[in-house]
C-alpha cells in the first residue's frame, strides 16, 4: 500500500472522464488499497481514482464514524440507474477542493449498479449520506465536481482562489 497524492483544483485531470474497468486485476486491487490508505489519511469518506490521477471508474468509500469499525466499500464502474424526483440539500466537501464546503442539492434516493472487487455485478438503493456520497463520487468519474452544482458566482470565486493558490505554489 502507498499513499498517493490527491489532485487539487485547478488540476485539469479532475475534468477527465474515467475509463471503465474491463477486468479485476492484482494492479486494480493494489490501486483500491492505495485509495483507501490515501482516503483515510486525508481524511475523507470517499475517493474516486481520478482524484489520484488514475482515470479509471473506481470509487472507495467508508461512511463509518471515527469511533466505529471501518465499513470499506468499493464501487467499480458505478452507474446511477435511477434517482428520485425528491431532492434534498447536504453540505459537501471534496478532498480535491480542500477546506471548502457548500450546500448541494441532489436526489434523495438513487439506485446504483456496480461491480464489487470480485467482479460480481451488484445493485443498491441508497438514501441519506450514502446516496449523496455515491452521486458525488460518480460525478468525479464523469469529470464533474461538486462545485458544478452550485451558483456560477460561487463556483467562479472558488476556481479563482484555487488557481491563485496553485500559481503561488508553482513560483
Stretch 108-132: mean pLDDT: 97
What tens digit of pLDDT does each residue of 72-92 get? 999 999 999 999 999 999 999
What tens digit of pLDDT does each residue of 95-116 get? 999 999 999 999 999 999 999 9
DSSP state of 18: P
User: Which of the residues are catalytic?
Assistant: 137
Radius of gyration of the chain (CA): 16
CB 117 within 8 A of CB 74: yes
CB 138 within 8 A of CB 79: yes
Q: What is the pTM of this model?
A: 0.96
The whole-number pLDDT of residue 171 equals 85
10: preceding bond cis by omega (within 30 degrees): yes
How many Å apart are CA 134 and CA 147, to the nearest integer?
A: 16
Is the CATH number of domain 12-170 3.90.45.10?
A: yes
Amino acid at each position: 500500500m502507498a499513499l498517493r497524492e490527491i489532485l487539487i483544483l485547478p488540476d485539469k485531470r479532475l475534468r477527465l472522464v474515467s475509463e471503465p474497468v474491463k477486468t479485476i486485476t492484482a494492479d486494480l486491487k493494489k490501486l483500491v488499497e492505495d485509495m483507501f490508505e490515501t482516503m483515510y489519511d486525508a481524511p475523507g469518506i470517499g475517493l474516486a481514482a481520478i482524484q489520484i490521477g488514475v482515470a479509471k471508474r473506481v470509487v472507495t468509500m467508508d461512511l463509518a464514524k471515527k469511533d466505529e469499525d471501518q465499513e470499506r466499500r468499493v464501487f467499480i464502474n458505478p452507474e446511477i440507474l435511477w434517482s428520485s424526483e425528491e431532492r434534498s440539500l447536504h453540505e459537501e466537501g471534496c478532498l480535491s477542493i480542500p477546506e471548502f464546503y457548500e450546500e448541494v442539492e441532489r436526489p434523495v434516493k438513487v439506485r446504483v449498479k456496480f461491480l464489487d472487487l470480485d467482479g460480481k455485478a451488484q445493485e443498491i438503493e441508497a438514501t441519506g449520506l450514502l446516496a449523496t456520497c455515491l452521486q458525488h463520487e460518480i460525478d468525479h468519474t464523469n469529470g464533474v465536481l461538486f462545485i458544478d452544482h452550485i451558483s456560477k458566482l460561487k463556483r467562479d470565486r472558488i476556481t479563482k482562489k484555487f488557481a491563485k493558490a496553485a500559481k503561488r505554489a508553482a513560483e
